[in-house]
Chain A
Amino acid sequence: MANVKLVNIIKSYDGKTDVVKNVSFEIRDKEFVVLVGPSGCGKSTILRMIAGLEDITSGDLYIDNKRVNDLLPKDRDIAMVFQNYALYPHMTVYQNMAFGLKIKRIPRKEIDRRVRRAADILEISYLLDRKPKAMSGGQRQRVAIGRAIVRDPKVFLFDEPLSNLDAKLRVQMRVEMQKLHKKLQVTIIYVTHDQTEAMTLGNRIVVLKDGKIMQIGAPMELYNTPDNMFVAGFIGSPPINFIHGEIRKKEALVFTDTGMEINLGLLHNEAINNYVNKKIVLGIRPENIHHIPHDKSSRFAKISITISAVEQMGNEMLVYANLDKLQMIARLPSDSTLEADQLTELYFDTPKILLFDPENGNVIK
């Protein structure tokens, strides 16, 4: 197994606009790294450059400390699983899995051993004689993973492999991906636009936007301490609430439209002193807003608000309220007694509040 290092990688198709802008990061040996971001952020392009399916416009790419910019995909010792499986329709599962090894002129006995082992791991031995069209999406995806496993590569690349599966199967395959990583102990680079997949699968997550890295970190690090509004808004479902306001006097924030004031003294954020009389964005995750505060301490900042809608999920209740023309979501216990159009009080858990500079979107800390 191996590490993968990207150094100042740039990709441009037309020589004018860069779709990947000076990206550098390292994926450690046996690490499961997820590249996540909205469509068009360059995540698939980065993966395809690592695979060798796209040329690198400038920068250096290292796999196992060897520069591979000019190597063909087959010589990079990688395997890739595609969103639409990309199984060869005219070949059986066995032939699909064996094809790459056959081209490498690996002895037939060894091919057979590897194919059967991979089939065993993925529990698809009974499918070996079938053709792709006679299988379900989930089965095809397993075969595609099997085709990657038999190559015994240094790095596995996954390009949105679960996007074509239905919701239930996706959850199941997510768990299996984790197990597979544990079992195979391999380096995996996984591309997805689904932040849930990123949070549940990755050892580390690379968040991308417009071809730039927004933040790299462990899932909970991104969740709790995002570097900027984009990461804060992208990670987490339902998304974080952003509320615009102004620091009128030290340690107190006044919301722009309603003029409501909350005390930020408990944030212990020295940096806000530089923002007195300046505009600011407050970010608070839905689960950090409460209907009934845990205790009477000043940790909870009270706001009066009207509920616009309530979604009862069974295990929790999503409460929508309007504040400063913005819709705010709170995640409350399912037994909360709140109804639409009700005027109520909600409590922000002050130490969990994040503050952002509205000009550059960066977190204030």
Chain B
Amino acid sequence: MKIIKKTLFYLILVAAALSFIYPFIWMMMASLAPEQEIGKLVIFPSEFTFDNYVSMFSKIPIGRALFNSLFVSTINTGLTLVFASMVGYALSRMRFRGRNTIFFIIIFTMSLPFQITLIPNYITMVKLHWVDTYLSLTVPFMITAFAILMFRQAFKGLPQALIDAARIDGCGELRIVFTILWPNIKPTIITVGILAFMASWNEVIWPLIVIREEQLMTLPQLVTLFVVGGRAESQLGVKLASAVFLATPVIIAYLFFQKHFIQSMASTGLKE
């Protein structure tokens, strides 16, 4: 009975895992398949070809878009880590009037759908003359409520004496955050880093609104325009190649950091 239960359990798990991984594997394999075989939905094509990738590179400035995405996502990730940890530290460790109110307002912003702030933010960008500049892709994403929440919780989990000891040793607040506390919340930094990077990397709507110049377009933006905008000339293989190209960096990053990622996600609910 126990064995049957266990077998059933594993079968369900494997089925669930396959249902998640299959579309991705198919996408990768199909991007390497000749155009006429893609419609058959087979995993292994009769021959492998890089034609779709070659064609993609020739049709759109995907190299430049890759650079833009990497540049923008790296800057956003870096700035989010720095600013969110500063705010998270203040909210968890400094005593000032209105601290909790500020925290609740920040948390409240998490419940606002992106669409609500889209237009006001766009107007701000226009007024600042930031449309069609890197600033419009980075400044609005320098900090997120979620990152603040994560850092606040992580800092709350550390003993106050650690901060006191650093203060007596002569550390200022910034040195306390980055030299003393950061090395002790690595899982949080990695999680926030990955999430910030993925969020920035996968963002499509915002770049579509604020960037029109092809040289400044991010990878998802360019790929979206390419796939739905008609420039792929209905070639499914090229579309799939661009999708694989888009997904790969984030997946590599995730595989690399997944241990810390899961550890931190699992502990966010416990540290208070």
Question: Which residues of A pack against B, CB within 8 Å?
Answer: 48, 51-53, 72-74, 78-80, 82-90, 99-100, 103-104, 147
Known A88-B180, A89-B184, A90-B183: A82·B164 in contact at CB below 8 Å: yes
Instruction: Beyond the given A80-B164, A90-B184, please list 17 additional residue pairs across the A-B interface where CB-CB is below 8 A.
Output: A48-B164, A51-B164, A52-B167, A52-B168, A53-B167, A73-B168, A74-B169, A74-B171, A79-B168, A80-B165, A88-B183, A89-B184, A99-B169, A103-B169, A103-B175, A104-B170, A147-B165
Q: Are A82 and B170 in contact (CB-based, < 8 A)? A: no
Q: Are A82 and B165 in contact (CB-based, < 8 A)? A: yes
Q: Are A103 and B170 in contact (CB-based, < 8 A)? A: yes
Q: Are A88 and B167 in contact (CB-based, < 8 A)? A: no
Chain A's nearest CB lies how many Å from the CB of B198?
A: 27
Chain B's nearest CB lies how many Å from the CB of A57?
A: 13
Chain A's nearest CB lies how many Å from the CB of B231?
A: 50
**Of residues A82, A84, A85, which shows the largest number of chain B Cβ atoms within 10 Å of its Cβ?**
A82
Q: Which residues of A contact B162 (CB under 8 A)?
A: 86, 88
CA distance A78 to B168 in the complex (A): 8
User: In the complex, which range does the number of interface residues on chain B fall in?
Assistant: 10 to 19
Q: Are A84 and B168 in contact (CB-based, < 8 A)? A: no
Chain B's nearest CB lies how many Å from the CB of A74?
A: 4
CA distance A152 to B162 in the complex (A): 20
CA distance A100 to B171 in the complex (A): 8
CA distance A99 to B171 in the complex (A): 10
Q: Which residues of A contact B180 (CB under 8 A)?
A: 88
Q: Which of B116-144 contact A (CB under 8 A)?
A: none
Q: Which residues of A contact B1 (CB under 8 A)?
A: none
Per-residue A-contact encoding for B159-200, CB less than 8 Å = 1, 0 else:
101101111111100010000100110000000000000000
Chain B's nearest CB lies how many Å from the CB of A364?
A: 43
Q: Are B169 and A100 in contact (CB-based, < 8 A)? A: yes
CA distance A30 to B219 in the complex (A): 69
CA distance A301 to B166 in the complex (A): 59
Please report whether the interface of chain B is mostly helix, strand, loop or mixed according to DSSP.
Answer: helix
CA distance A83 to B170 in the complex (A): 20
Chain B's nearest CB lies how many Å from the CB of A65?
A: 21
Q: Which residues of B contact A82 (CB under 8 A)?
A: 161, 164-165
Known A53-B164, A80-B164, A80-B165: A86·B170 in contact at CB below 8 Å: no
| Nearest B residue (CB) for A89 | B184
| A74: contacting residue among B159, B170, B184, CB under 8 A | B170
Q: Which residues of B contact A88 (CB under 8 A)?
A: 162, 165-166, 180, 183
CA distance A257 to B42 in the complex (A): 98
**Of residues B166, B167, B169, B183, which shows the largest number of chain A Cβ atoms within 10 Å of its Cβ?**
B169
CA distance A147 to B166 in the complex (A): 11
Q: Are B183 and A80 in contact (CB-based, < 8 A)? A: no
CA distance A103 to B179 in the complex (A): 11
Chain A's nearest CB lies how many Å from the CB of B39?
A: 55
CA distance A84 to B164 in the complex (A): 12
| 15 contacting pairs across A/B (C-beta < 8 A) | A51-B164, A53-B164, A72-B167, A74-B167, A74-B168, A74-B169, A74-B170, A80-B165, A82-B165, A86-B159, A87-B165, A88-B165, A88-B183, A89-B183, A90-B183
Q: Which residues of A contact B170 (CB under 8 A)?
A: 74, 100, 103-104
Q: Are B161 and A84 in contact (CB-based, < 8 A)? A: yes
CA distance A84 to B158 in the complex (A): 12
Q: Which residues of A contact B159 (CB under 8 A)?
A: 84, 86
| Nearest B residue (CB) for A53 | B164
| Nearest B residue (CB) for A157 | B168
Q: Are B161 and A83 in contact (CB-based, < 8 A)? A: yes
CA distance A84 to B160 in the complex (A): 10
| Nearest A residue (CB) for B183 | A90
Q: Which residues of B contact A89 (CB under 8 A)?
A: 183-184
**Of residues A78, A85, A86, which shows the largest number of chain B Cβ atoms within 10 Å of its Cβ?**
A86
Q: Which residues of B contact A48 (CB under 8 A)?
A: 164
CA distance A74 to B176 in the complex (A): 13
Q: Are A73 and B161 in contact (CB-based, < 8 A)? A: no
Chain A's nearest CB lies how many Å from the CB of B216?
A: 40
Known A83-B161, A84-B159, A84-B161: A73·B167 in contact at CB below 8 Å: yes
Q: Which residues of A contact B175 (CB under 8 A)?
A: 103
| Nearest A residue (CB) for B164 | A53
Q: Which residues of B contact A53 (CB under 8 A)?
A: 164, 167-168
Q: Which residues of B contact A51 (CB under 8 A)?
A: 164, 168
CA distance A137 to B192 in the complex (A): 33
Q: Which residues of B contact A80 (CB under 8 A)?
A: 164-165, 168
Closest 3 CB pairs of A and B: A100-B169, A86-B161, A74-B170
**Of residues B162, B164, B166, B171, which shows the largest number of chain A Cβ atoms within 10 Å of its Cβ?**
B164
Chain A's nearest CB lies how many Å from the CB of B97?
A: 11
Chain A's nearest CB lies how many Å from the CB of B173?
A: 11
CA distance A52 to B168 in the complex (A): 8
| B168: contacting residue among A83, A87, A90, A100, CB under 8 A | A100
CA distance A265 to B126 in the complex (A): 97
Q: Which residues of B contact A90 (CB under 8 A)?
A: 183-184
CA distance A99 to B170 in the complex (A): 9
Q: Are B183 and A86 in contact (CB-based, < 8 A)? A: no
CA distance A80 to B161 in the complex (A): 10
Q: Which residues of B contact A84 (CB under 8 A)?
A: 159, 161
Chain B's nearest CB lies how many Å from the CB of A88?
A: 6
Chain B's nearest CB lies how many Å from the CB of A77?
A: 10
Chain B's nearest CB lies how many Å from the CB of A311?
A: 38
Chain B's nearest CB lies how many Å from the CB of A102?
A: 9
Q: Which residues of B contact A147 (CB under 8 A)?
A: 165
Q: Which residues of A contact B171 (CB under 8 A)?
A: 74, 103
| Nearest A residue (CB) for B166 | A88
Q: Which residues of A contact B161 (CB under 8 A)?
A: 82-86
Chain A's nearest CB lies how many Å from the CB of B192?
A: 18
| Nearest A residue (CB) for B171 | A103
